[in-house]
Amino acid sequence: MTTAHPLRAGTAHQSRSVAGHLAAVTALLAPLAAESRAEVLPLRAALGRALVHDIVAPVSLPPFANSQMDGYAVRSADLHDGGTDLRVAPPVPAGSRPPALLTGTAAPIMTGAMLPDGADAVVPIERAVPDSFPAAGSEASVTLPAVPAGTFVRPAGSDIVAGGRALAARTHLGPAQLGLLAALGRADVEVFKAVTVLLVTTGDEVVEPGRELPDGKIYDANGTLLEAAMAEAGIDVRRTGISTDEPGELRKLLRATSTEADLIVTTGGVSKGAYEVVRQAMEDQPVDFLHVAMQPGGPQGIGTFDGVPFLGFPGNPVSCLVSFEMFLRPALSALLGAPAPRAPLRARLGHGLTSPERKHQVRRGNLQPDGTVRLEGGEGSHLVHALAGSNALVHVPEGVTELAAGDEVEVWML
Amino acid sequence: MTTAHPLRAGTAHQSRSVAGHLAAVTALLAPLAAESRAEVLPLRAALGRALVHDIVAPVSLPPFANSQMDGYAVRSADLHDGGTDLRVAPPVPAGSRPPALLTGTAAPIMTGAMLPDGADAVVPIERAVPDSFPAAGSEASVTLPAVPAGTFVRPAGSDIVAGGRALAARTHLGPAQLGLLAALGRADVEVFKAVTVLLVTTGDEVVEPGRELPDGKIYDANGTLLEAAMAEAGIDVRRTGISTDEPGELRKLLRATSTEADLIVTTGGVSKGAYEVVRQAMEDQPVDFLHVAMQPGGPQGIGTFDGVPFLGFPGNPVSCLVSFEMFLRPALSALLGAPAPRAPLRARLGHGLTSPERKHQVRRGNLQPDGTVRLEGGEGSHLVHALAGSNALVHVPEGVTELAAGDEVEVWML
């Protein structure tokens, strides 16, 4: 660091909006959404992935009109005010097509069983006299109140009609979406492959957790933090050891390990200091180093290394996580439908804050049950204990310099 | 179903509040929180688990006072209004302890490097004249403005002090918590073992997805839906095939497969109909079948089967998921710290609704970016397509019969 490094001085003062950088990251990763990157998985393995194509319902749900209650299937026209005696027909068997219901009869039916032809309503057993079913094979009658047609009937197709679009392409597959695919009879589904990221942390001053900590060094939190955040988002993460601050070594490490990666992500070495290993290692590559109008996480690198898409995140843990949450995660959500996008929630600030005018500030906070959000820690991007005590990111858009307690902000639950 | 089944008539009309049933489920599963169920995992494998014990910080974070900027480390007392010329000292090396800073000198320092003894502030390079560092080994001086002590210094222990509690027992380990453990030098961590659930869906009328669908039958959505919901919550799920409605067969199936399970969960066969295979299979076991004041998901079974904790969920998909979200998931969160509890959010209803007075109603909805929630589908517990189009559960507490558009409700993001 003993000489001034006028590294790409032309780009060093470039500044870009958060939206502009997200668009650039999304463009870089657009090839990941190619249909050639699809694979067919059994439903249980598709959790957290997203659909390549629309899913059209091959059957209606429910497939047939069925009873919503335990009771008697009836022809509503048979029933009159004041109660009507009907002969008890043989019970409707579960799981098969019952015979048609004769006029003047009522058939015991259980929840979910197919309504017999002719029947158009169900009287719950609680409203019948007597209010329990007669013994098998016995001749019996039952007194039932009048009910409108359709009472306690789930019509065929009332949830979805065969031929209708059940799920759209790029829908994220959580439990409910997989449950719907199962209800439609699907045992497997075509989804986008998981994205493989090679994650490389850098710095002569960082040490692997579990080792001894020499004077002046810190433990590497970035690797664990980002690996976990990426894994939670469905990314297949591969890690190297920590790279030194020697650019040639980092290049060698990347060349040895990046062949199968869809994306390289590094941490550290991207700002305007003298030792900036990632900048230096990328000197011959089409990579831009720029400043995004965001706090923390301003310094960012983006481009390709030997043709592999590359993102360079800054070196502090909170900056790393914010970079992931603001750029990589939403780009993948937009392109592939997975991970599921963070829901933009509204909350009231528990207390006031200030923010630099020309930056989108991302604070860490705790969303309280009363709907207010309490900030955790200060602005410092090294505050990983404060981050660990937070459950949400709090957004202060560019142009906003001051907010008071009670003002509404957008928050993302982590 | 041809005879009335007065199964446990004494308990059939038992009704219990949601809170009462949650307490019962939590008590049933309390042995899972025994410290004997701990295991030590490397950090990457501990994602989604929870801590058995408090974690005390073995080091302070930051471990030493360091620079927040690239610039010059200074003794603030050396600097005076109007600018002061200082001799440039040798640069502070990253990752080791620098020599003390002599009076009247300023040492080039990069972000994160240890502040030399004697230095108490950092002047950013942008505020220096000249605003770039001199070449290595050259004699040079720099003109710096006056700054207060502490400027751009991250004091040792400003995030957490050694000996302080970094994380509490039963904290859920997400990316930020694992990142903190790494920052503290931990390579592994003691967590509760994953809970193993044996999941059994029942019913003569349900067919495995992927097979042909005979007349009157439906595909089994419950197995896929619950397996995915449980897997997302960190549960180790084992599934059997679908059980028939023959109680002896279900008993045999459970005896053959439940030996290693922490919990058996069945779906279907727990209400007051005539064919209720789960009720019948549990006749000789200490199991209660009761009604919880909740819609959907009222009928519930709870007890033990051959000594293994048992929960019987109702047979409709939405009822299954609501049962899981209202009882099993929060019980595990309370006992083990994992999965992370659902955050109770507040939202305004997009339109009005009605709800039975004596029941806690759980509706499905979509939380909109403007903070309102739109209900999806009706109350019907078979509406799995509507469920798949929802991102939230909407709570209408017992005693509330009507809500208007704009009224505030509690929602849980799914």
Domain CATH number, residue A109: 2.170.190.11
Question: Quick check: B242 and B266 in contact, CB under 8 A?
Answer: no
pLDDT in tens, A156-194: 999 999 999 999 999 999 999 999 999 999 999 999 999
Q: Which whole number is the average pLDDT over A4-27?
A: 71
Of residues B236, B409, B267, the one with CA closest to residue B339: B236
Is residue B236 domain-resident?
Answer: yes
Annotate A4-24 with b (16+ C-beta within 10 A) or e (fewer): ebebbeeebeeebebeebbeb
What is the rounded distance in angstroms from the CA atom of residue A324 to the CA atom of residue A294? 13
Residue B230: predicted pLDDT = 98
Shared domain check, A329 and A232: yes
- Reported as a pLDDT band with limits 50, 70 and 90, residue B14 is low
Query: Is residue A10 pLDDT above 80, yes or no?
Result: no
Annotate B27-50 with b (16+ C-beta within 10 A) or e (fewer): ebbeebbeeebeeebebbebbbbb
- Interface probe, candidates A218, A324, A363, A393, chain B, greatest B C-beta count within 10 A: A218
Query: Is residue B16 pLDDT above 90, yes or no?
Result: yes
**Average pLDDT for chain A:** 94
Q: Which whole number is the average pLDDT over B397-407?
A: 97
pLDDT in tens, B112-159: 999 999 999 999 999 999 999 998 888 999 999 999 999 999 999 999
Percentage of chain B with pLDDT > 70? Answer: 96
Looking at the partner chain, which of A61, A213, A413 has a beta carbon nearest the beta carbon of B413? A413
The complex scores an ipTM of 0.94
Surface of A (189-248) touching B: CB under 8 A: 203-206, 208-211, 213-229, 231-232, 245
Shared domain check, A399 and A311: no
In terms of residues, how long is chain B? 414
Residue A4: predicted pLDDT = 35
With 0-12 CB in 10 A as exposed, 13-18 as middle and 19+ as buried, what is B401?
Answer: middle
Q: Which whole number is the average pLDDT over A142-152?
A: 98
What is the rounded distance in angstroms from the CA atom of residue A227 to the CA atom of residue A231? 6
Query: Is residue A148 pLDDT above 90, yes or no?
Result: yes
Q: Which whole number is the average pLDDT over A231-247?
A: 96
Q: Which bin fits B258, alpha (ψ -120 to 50), beta or left (φ > 0)?
A: alpha
pLDDT in tens, B149-194: 999 999 999 999 999 999 999 999 999 999 999 999 999 999 999 9
Shared domain check, A372 and A328: no
What is the rounded distance in angstroms from the CA atom of residue A379 to the CA atom of residue A387? 11
Does any CB of chain A come closer than 8 Å to the CB of residue B270? no
Contacts of B345 in chain A (CB under 8 A): 345, 367, 371
Is residue B3 domain-resident?
Answer: no
* Tokens coding B211: 């097979």
What are the beta bridge partners of residue A56? Answer: A165
pLDDT in tens, B321-357: 999 999 999 999 999 999 999 999 999 999 999 999 9
Domain CATH number, residue B360: 2.40.340.10
Surface of B (135-174) touching A: CB under 8 A: 135-137, 154, 158-160, 166-167, 174
Q: Which whole number is the average pLDDT over B25-42?
A: 97
Is residue A137 domain-resident?
Answer: yes
Identify residue A311 by its one-letter amino acid code.
Answer: L
| Binary contact (A133, B344; C-beta < 8 A) | no
- Residue linked to tokens 């509760």: B192
Shared domain check, A367 and A248: no
Surface of A (10-39) touching B: CB under 8 A: none
| Binary contact (B225, A111; C-beta < 8 A) | no
Domain around B56: 39-60+163-192
SS3 per residue for B374-412:
EECCCCCCCCHHHHHCCCEEEEECCCCCEECCCCEEEEE
Shared domain check, B266 and B285: yes
Surface of B (338-357) touching A: CB under 8 A: 343-346
pLDDT in tens, B203-234: 999 999 999 999 999 999 999 999 999 999 99
**Average pLDDT for chain B:** 94
What is the rounded distance in angstroms from the CA atom of residue A341 to the CA atom of residue B408? 24
- Reported as a pLDDT band with limits 50, 70 and 90, residue A3 is very low
Q: Which whole number is the average pLDDT over A295-312?
A: 97
pLDDT in tens, A203-236: 999 999 999 999 999 999 999 999 999 999 999 9
Residue A291: predicted pLDDT = 96
Shared domain check, B326 and B202: yes
Query: Based on the structure, what is the number of domains in chain B?
Result: 4
Residue A14: predicted pLDDT = 61
Cα maximum dimension of chain A: 103
Tell how strand B360-367 and strand A84-88 pair up: unpaired
Which string of DSSP letters, residue by residue, matches A258-302?
Answer: -TT-SEEEEES--SSSS--HHHHHTTTSSEEEEEESEES--EEEE
Q: Which residue has the higher pLDDT, A37 or A371?
A: A37
Does any CB of chain B come closer than 8 Å to the CB of residue A373? no
Question: Quick check: B326 and B311 in contact, CB under 8 A?
Answer: no
Domain CATH number, residue B327: 3.40.980.10
What is the rounded distance in angstroms from the CA atom of residue A119 to the CA atom of residue A153? 10
**In the 8-state DSSP scheme, what is residue A94?**
T
Q: How far is CA A229 from CA A414, B178, B414, in A?
A: 10, 10, 18
Percentage of chain B with pLDDT > 90? Answer: 90
Shared domain check, A223 and A93: no
Query: Is residue B2 pLDDT above 60, yes or no?
Result: no
What is the rounded distance in angstroms from the CA atom of residue B67 to the CA atom of residue B87? 19
Shared domain check, B207 and B178: no
Shared domain check, B134 and B98: yes
SS3 content of chain B, % helix, strand, coil (to 5): 25, 30, 45
Question: Quick check: B218 and B205 in contact, CB under 8 A?
Answer: yes
